[in-house]
Structure 1
Amino acid sequence: MRIWVTGIGIVSPLGRGASETMDRLIAGERAFAPLSLFEIPGTRGRIAAEVRGLSPEEVAPPGEAEGWSRTDAMAVLSAREALGHAGIDPRAVPVDLVVGGTTAGMFETEDLLAWLSHDPSAIAPLKRMLSHPLSSTADHVRAAVGPFRRVRSVCSACSSGANAVLLGAAWLRAGLSTRVLAGGADGLCRLTYTGFGALAAVDPAPCRPFDRRRAGLNLGEAAAFLLLESEDAARARGAQPIVELRGWATGAEAHHITNPEREGRTAARVMRDALRCAALTPSDLDYVNAHGTATPLNDVMESAALRACLGPEVNRIAVSSSKGQIGHTLGAAGAVEAAITALAIARGVMPPTGGLEEVDPECQLAHLKEAREAPIRSAMSNSFGFGGTDSVLVLAQPDRFPPPLDAGSAPRRRSVVVTAAATIGPLGVLASRGGAAYLEPGPPPAEGAIAFNTAAHLDLARARRLDRAGRLTTAAILTALSEAGLGGAVQAEAGAGDPAADVAPSRTLPGAIVGASFGSVDASTAYMRRIYDKGAKYASPADFPNLVPSSPVGHASIYLGLRGPVFAMADLGATAEAAMVTAIELITAGEGEALAAGSVEETSPMIERCLGPICSQVVSSGVRSEGAAVLLFESAARVRERGARPVAMVSWWNSWRGDGVGMLAGAPAPARLGASGEVALRAQATVPSPAAVFVGREEERLVACLQGSPWAEVRRSTLASRSGDHEGAGGFAAAAAVAALASRDLASVLVVGGAPDRGYAILLVAPGDA
């Protein structure tokens, strides 16, 4: 099918609104000025591209602004504009929502974190912390401009916004959605400002992308959303497209947590993937909105990648970077720049690269130093993030090109299976069948951190840059990959220097989607305490990269050589379930072949006594503990091709917002194992069905969801009492389900998980003999 962009909204340092932002970009205006939000002695730079006069009070309900952030305000305003531009009311038609980002309410909470670290006895549920979780921005957009049917929060550092658009496109292409509001939002904060300064990545003067004298980036803040619709849905309501979203791709470099591959091999591969998805060639492109950060390494890498991808056409295709005018807006950048690219096509005007005077000889491209009026048939928007997650979007004039090969066909959904599972928790490091141990009676876990011998599972020399969450994540994925027989993906040099890996489509390579409900809270707290107590010069360049929410999965990607889709999810106490459902949806849509998915949670007084009670509303719980749990999902066709056998099959899944009543009514009935081992429907059974419902943490709202469904009377087991009563217990529930199905103790298991106002369900069944 064709995917149309029918609405665009932008809040940027140049203006509140897409039209004003674009007008000022084309005019060559630059938004850099002395920073007014905060002051930190000892910072290398003192300027930023700030959205002036913005406050949460503009969008928060009366009396609720304390729990909202400036990031939320930008997101709500741009989301409203996109919906209004498209003429869509989510109260009247189903709309799904994807938000990319990295900072959420960090600006509003970082001083509180630093203060609490001085007096741990003061840690308590505080309303102000409601804006801290990464998922809070999506929650607040839903509250202010929703409702939305399906809601996700994505983080892949600086490519987060682009991956939000990519996920929305995948839902549309697979027929899972008809309309998706997709974008990103990130506000300035002390943590990122001092962190990039510590990496020596900030230019104290206005930045100069691709310039010979460039000395680093300038940080900015912004939000942008695009309303994506299937062509049929848009035509049915008489809507006109702004542009067509034709292609997209994402892949990981598996190289370094902050530095890009100098040769740009992965970036070039992902660009080629996006063009292939769009059914276009370099000769069809007229413009590239480059990632163009103005850092010495990135600009050289991207230039090399563009030359490798575009070939002789590179001398014709115009290139510019918006960061020379609005700064690097981090998790919002991919969405903001996609919106700018769409507007450039619609207006027939290419914006310039602010600050570019003398092009670096290593960055020779068809750079735009001034705006240029010219028809743009199609254009590419590039986004590259910490950890090496590269994402590319391709947009085009509506109806300019023949539809993609599958545009006229019905959505094709691929079958998904589970080939392995792994848990690292109070009972040790366990592979697929070992997860059943968490179903057995036994004592609760001990207080504090679990025993995990890094040297027994990882190479200490290669794991030296990994923090605890990164090590737990990496070891869990490694255990699952090894059991599934994907040995090639677990080599340290997987894909490095391998020509086959550089030409293989990213969606065919192993990837991972792993999140943490609140991120690295304790590490962020310690980092901010040093900044407040001693100044910016004590910001650690080693610690800062680990504070990005996608850091654990990024480190795992690098260690294991995972070069497919790699990003993090966040959804409070349902993060593991959100990651698993997202992996299922991407494979179903053909955007992945093998994805490890789950979550990692560390023991944390801040989460247990403050964030958990106020955000997840878990006031009374058992021993928290910690751990990581992942399932390895693969397409059934891929598993057959490599002669492997699944340990479970995905029969059905769902996600929802609201109380969840009725959301499980459409679930297939429990199944039983027939005499030959195949799965049969319960209606055909003559004996009681061996089925169960597994949940991570027992909550009344989940029990209410089961009422009225085929699973209401099925035996229910809760994992938290053995795995630890933490936000990632749902991943342990899914791993236990895989163990029970693999051993044929059960024929089907419904895994249900949730948090306030949200829920997820995955129905897993035992694999048949066929």
Structure 2
Amino acid sequence: MTHGSGLPAPRSTGPSTDRREPAERTAAMDDPSYAPSRAPEGGDGLGTPADPNGVHGPITGHPPGPGAAARRIVVCAVGAVTAQGDGAGPLWENVRAGITAIRPVRGLPMDGYLTTVGGEVPRVRRPAYDYLADIGGHDREPALDFALTAAEEALAASGLTGAVPAERWGVAFGTCNGGLRSAEKVLRRSREGRPAPGDPRHYLLVPPHAMAEALSGAFVLKGPLLSVNTACASGAHALAHATEAIRAGRADAMLVGGSDAFTETAFAGFTSLQSLSATPAAPYSRDRDGLSLGEGSGMLVLVAEDVARAVGAPVLAEVLGYGLSADGYHATAPHPQGEGAARAIRQALHTAGLVPEDVGYINGHGTGTPKNDSAESNAVRAALGEAAEKTTLSSTKSMVGHLLGAAGAVEAVVTVLALREQTAPPTANFTGTDPRCGLDAVPHTARPLDLNAALSNNFAFAGANACVAFGSPGHRFEAPPAPPDETVVVTGFGVISAAGDGAAALWRAWTSGRALGAEEDGLRVARADFDPRRHTGPRERRRMDRLGGLAVASCRAALEHAGLTAGERVGVVLGTGLGPMRSTEDFLLPVLDGGPAHAGPAVFPNTVFNAAAGQVAMAVGARGPTSTAATGHAAGASALTVAHDLLRRGRADAVLVPAVEDLSPGVLDAYRGLPLFAGPAGRRYTLAEAGIALVLERASAARARGARVLAEFTGHATASDAAGLGRWDARGEGVERAMRAALADAGVRPEELTAIWSGAGGISAADAPEARATRRLLPDGACPVHAPHRRLGEPVGAGAQLAAVLALTDWEHGGRPGPVLVNSSPLGGTHISLVLRPATEN
């Protein structure tokens, strides 16, 4: 549904105008009710308000072809909710003035922490979109409120009303904690013997991808949807991946950003690491002693420049390039010399076509901790050389706190506005130069500068580094020629599943026809019989949880199968739908019962979703681009799409793509509480654990080292139903769009398919839309449709990897050669389709 001719339609606050019959709309809770809400219109002064009449008309036509890699990408609008207030305007004005909004925290009990201050959002404005109407309950999730409010501002100011069809709008969203605050409230009530929220569907607020799907539903954005969770670099990673989606022609516009709210877990965790300052953080200063936590959201509208110019949308800045890297060094501490961070900065400069002298300002990571600030300063010097001494480097965190997964997005907003205003914002609370840092931190007072280009740095737990380069719209930088668009191939895989270790065990279970799993208190579960002692040494196991162990073991097996040695040109992109919930429970429950003094500093680093990816990087020596996709039951498929586009752009020679899931007691309790899994429907569904990794390579790199190519990964697509939290289109419209777009990307006609590996898991309400879409795609039914998850269990985010390994093994055993389609969908209307074909089939 579009409004006028194309911008994502505002939801109506009145009765639904959707004329479909109730049977054509499906909720994850088997609830056909549908209560959408309205998004506001108008601008905020940071961009030209959208044309209400859509006089420019919609952008129509086909997605760009191979030449899309040369597309330039601009920022048309921004929005923010921070401790400085509601809006990007107050954020910029107060940051430019050097005003610190780190104050005593009122919204959480602060007893027992190292500090009582933080960058707390002073007033949470309720967004127009009523997501509780979709899921029931009465407790709102502040991180989601922040995201929706910031998105309302950015979209209203974008000038794109009526210009871009909903199917060409995507969402890329980063968060560290997701809806963890909602989980904390439920668990605290339970531990104190008080009743939980009245509706168990409230659990749908907890997973990180819920926020991306809520944004998609609120504004009817039906294009690519990605949820990324790389801890404190999440917002920057969302920007990087959104850039690739537009450059590849998969979308014309992307709503991009991040959000996080204060949680007891974060305050207790950073207290246990002795990382919090009792006073507002003083980054880069000689007397700095720790960070200040913050909360809020930043959102940006990224648009292909040709689209923005065609409709007269405002242009605040250009996204010139980005760099991603893994330290492969330590779970929490950065490399002391900033080695990994320097590689990310250098890569951002290279992809942007910049030389160090072009950079006038860097919005630094600048947390205020002794190790981080000195490591970042070393990284800047290593990447910029002599030019570093003339480059300003300031920290927004000194004024709003460290917003964790939202930091990269909020600091990108500040960087964009610094370019627009030709001003370097200051570092507040500065107490004097530390010789271990020593760069120009713009102390106390903003500085007018002639800025053509600026960088925004973000670094995270597990050694995930990101740097995004922005350019002033008044200055034209010529980017280096795009690398040739080459084929991505699969050269290895490693499997740990409920069937046993190895692909052979999985294949035997599949071909035998036996169903895996057993009932556990009303829910059918297939456990992976995984002994980490067979795969990791005692020293590694001390810092590794079960999720990390599954990731490392499957990646080591995949590298061995591929005959590949990891290094700086080998990356890690991990997918997990559930994430480290076992570690989160192990850390949080003692805190809820006994207070912050019971927080475990050894456990806390494993509570971030990208901890497992960091463990892989450290264990195998992969120091190329790293990221973690958290798109629910399609997380593994999402990770494969991210890795595919990184390789096609020449960002790496090879990427390890593990998908891992570990079923903790709390996770199973949450599934049991959802009506969708109750009764006969739930008994036909099996949840499974898994660690399955694929090795993807650029075809030229694989040929150069004489690798055996197992398959070609020739295309992919992601589409959203934009139906809201835990909801999808029962007609399968989004699934069909994803399948057809993936086939078009691969240059394959539907009738050429030799098999479809379905994402169906045994819940009829969720499986039926895909079946309907498949019948429309192939009405003659000539192509076999396989449903491995119904027999082997639904390995949550590892479903795409499981199906891919089965498809490759089928070819090895004489199965019909030819292109196959692999489908994945989480329980929220996001659909991902991948196209694989045998290496010899061409």
Q: Return the offset for 1:36.
A: 1.0
Give the alignment partner of residue 556 of structure 2, picking from 478, 489, 509.
Answer: 478
TM-score of the aligned structures, taking structure 2 as reference length: 0.83
2:656 matched residue in structure 1:
596
Q: Does residue 1:691 correspond to 2:762, yes or no? A: no
Q: Does residue 1:420 correspond to 2:492, yes or no? A: yes
2:512 matched residue in structure 1:
440
Deviations 1:218-256 (A, max 9, x none): 000121112112221111112242111112110000001
Deviations 1:663-691 (A, max 9, x none): 2345659x9xxxxxxx998979xxxx853
Letter in 2 for 1:558: M
Is the contact made by 1:60 and 1:68 (CA closer than 8 Å) also made in structure 2? Answer: no
Is the contact made by 1:418 and 1:633 (CA closer than 8 Å) also made in structure 2? Answer: yes
Separation in 2 of the partners of 1:767 and 1:123?
A: 52
Separation in 1 of the partners of 2:684 and 2:602?
A: 34
Give the alignment partner of residue 42 of structure 1, picking from 88, 101, 112.
Answer: 112
Q: Does residue 1:460 correspond to 2:499, yes or no? A: no
Cα distance change of structure 1 residues 454 and 121 upon mapping to structure 2, 3 Å threshold: farther
Helix, strand or coil for the counterpart of 1:760? Answer: strand
Deviations 1:488-524 (A, max 9, x none): 21xxxx5xxxxxx4xxxxxxx2122223212222432
Cα distance change of structure 1 residues 682 and 247 upon mapping to structure 2, 3 Å threshold: closer
Is the contact made by 1:749 and 1:764 (CA closer than 8 Å) also made in structure 2? Answer: yes
Cα distance change of structure 1 residues 429 and 393 upon mapping to structure 2, 3 Å threshold: same
Q: Does residue 1:31 correspond to 2:101, yes or no? A: yes
1:378 matched residue in structure 2:
453
Percent identity between the aligned chains?
29
Q: Return the offset for 1:654.
A: 2.1
Letter in 1 for 2:772: A
After the TM superposition, which of the residue ranges 432-441 and 26-35 deviates more from structure 2? 432-441
TM-score of the aligned structures, taking structure 1 as reference length: 0.90
1:702 matched residue in structure 2:
770
Give the alignment partner of residue 792 of structure 2, picking from 713, 723, 748.
Answer: 723
Separation in 2 of the partners of 1:142 and 1:528?
A: 30
Separation in 2 of the partners of 1:461 and 1:71?
A: 37
Separation in 2 of the partners of 1:680 and 1:574?
A: 23
Separation in 2 of the partners of 1:435 and 1:257?
A: 35
Q: Return the offset for 1:180.
A: 1.5
Give the alignment partner of residue 406 of structure 2, picking from 318, 332, 335.
Answer: 332
Helix, strand or coil for the counterpart of 1:479? Answer: helix
Helix, strand or coil for the counterpart of 2:776? Answer: coil
Q: Does residue 1:753 correspond to 2:816, yes or no? A: no
2:604 matched residue in structure 1:
544
Cα distance change of structure 1 residues 424 and 203 upon mapping to structure 2, 3 Å threshold: same
Cα distance change of structure 1 residues 357 and 40 upon mapping to structure 2, 3 Å threshold: closer
1:676 matched residue in structure 2:
none
| 1:103-122 alignment, distance < 5 Å | 103-116=177-190
| 1:645-684 alignment, distance < 5 Å | 645-658=708-721, 659=729, 660-661=732-733, 662-663=736-737, 664-665=739-740, 668=743
Deviations 1:33-74 (A, max 9, x none): 111111043111111100022165664257457374111111
Cα distance change of structure 1 residues 92 and 245 upon mapping to structure 2, 3 Å threshold: closer
Separation in 2 of the partners of 1:200 and 1:667?
A: 48
Is the contact made by 2:657 and 2:695 (CA closer than 8 Å) also made in structure 1? Answer: yes
Helix, strand or coil for the counterpart of 1:695? Answer: coil
Is the contact made by 1:349 and 1:373 (CA closer than 8 Å) also made in structure 2? Answer: yes
Cα distance change of structure 1 residues 118 and 580 upon mapping to structure 2, 3 Å threshold: farther
Q: Return the offset for 1:552.
A: 1.4
Helix, strand or coil for the counterpart of 2:674? Answer: helix
Separation in 1 of the partners of 2:296 and 2:834?
A: 35
Q: Return the offset for 1:22.
A: 0.4
Q: Return the offset for 1:718.
A: 2.1
After the TM superposition, which of the residue ranges 215-224 and 420-429 deviates more from structure 2? 420-429
Deviations 1:62-106 (A, max 9, x none): 745737411111111111222222212389532111001111211
Give the alignment partner of residue 359 of structure 2, picking from 285, 296, 299.
Answer: 285
Q: Does residue 1:572 correspond to 2:632, yes or no? A: yes
Cα distance change of structure 1 residues 360 and 257 upon mapping to structure 2, 3 Å threshold: same
Is the contact made by 2:230 and 2:610 (CA closer than 8 Å) also made in structure 1? Answer: yes
Separation in 1 of the partners of 2:432 and 2:253?
A: 44
Give the alignment partner of residue 170 of structure 2, picking from 91, 96, 102.
Answer: 96
Q: Return the offset for 1:118.
A: 8.1
1:393 matched residue in structure 2:
468
1:84 matched residue in structure 2:
156
Cα distance change of structure 1 residues 92 and 173 upon mapping to structure 2, 3 Å threshold: closer
1:498 matched residue in structure 2:
none
1:230 matched residue in structure 2:
304
Separation in 2 of the partners of 1:86 and 1:430?
A: 50
Is the contact made by 1:207 and 1:294 (CA closer than 8 Å) also made in structure 2? Answer: yes
Cα distance change of structure 1 residues 400 and 88 upon mapping to structure 2, 3 Å threshold: same
Separation in 1 of the partners of 2:108 and 2:683?
A: 37
1:738 matched residue in structure 2:
808
Separation in 2 of the partners of 1:448 and 1:760?
A: 24
Deviations 1:361-394 (A, max 9, x none): 1110112011111221111110000001110011
Separation in 1 of the partners of 2:504 and 2:258?
A: 36
Helix, strand or coil for the counterpart of 2:279? Answer: coil
Q: Return the offset for 1:209.
A: 0.3
Letter in 2 for 1:97: V
2:64 matched residue in structure 1:
none
Separation in 2 of the partners of 1:354 and 1:440?
A: 66
Deviations 1:432-480 (A, max 9, x none): 8965643432242355643222222222322321000000011111111
2:644 matched residue in structure 1:
584
Cα distance change of structure 1 residues 124 and 455 upon mapping to structure 2, 3 Å threshold: farther
Q: Return the offset for 1:549.
A: 1.4
Helix, strand or coil for the counterpart of 2:103? Answer: strand
2:317 matched residue in structure 1:
243
Give the alignment partner of residue 622 of structure 2, picking from 552, 556, 562.
Answer: 562
2:384 matched residue in structure 1:
310
Letter in 2 for 1:626: E
Is the contact made by 1:28 and 1:351 (CA closer than 8 Å) also made in structure 2? Answer: yes
Q: Does residue 1:21 correspond to 2:84, yes or no? A: no
Letter in 1 for 2:599: A
Cα distance change of structure 1 residues 524 and 61 upon mapping to structure 2, 3 Å threshold: closer
Separation in 2 of the partners of 1:331 and 1:32?
A: 18
Cα distance change of structure 1 residues 667 and 214 upon mapping to structure 2, 3 Å threshold: closer
After the TM superposition, which of the residue ranges 225-234 and 17-26 deviates more from structure 2? 225-234
1:2 matched residue in structure 2:
72
Give the alignment partner of residue 689 of structure 2, picking from 626, 646, 664.
Answer: 626
Separation in 2 of the partners of 1:358 and 1:469?
A: 43
Is the contact made by 1:272 and 1:309 (CA closer than 8 Å) also made in structure 2? Answer: yes
After the TM superposition, which of the residue ranges 320-329 and 610-619 deviates more from structure 2? 610-619
Is the contact made by 1:258 and 1:545 (CA closer than 8 Å) also made in structure 2? Answer: yes
After the TM superposition, which of the residue ranges 257-266 and 173-182 deviates more from structure 2? 173-182
Cα distance change of structure 1 residues 644 and 7 upon mapping to structure 2, 3 Å threshold: same
Unaligned runs of 5+ residues in structure 1 are 495-500, 502-508, 672-678
Letter in 2 for 1:551: A
Is the contact made by 1:59 and 1:144 (CA closer than 8 Å) also made in structure 2? Answer: yes
Separation in 2 of the partners of 1:586 and 1:388?
A: 19
Separation in 1 of the partners of 2:404 and 2:221?
A: 27
Separation in 2 of the partners of 1:70 and 1:667?
A: 36
Letter in 1 for 2:79: G
Unaligned runs of 5+ residues in structure 2 are 1-70, 519-524, 722-728
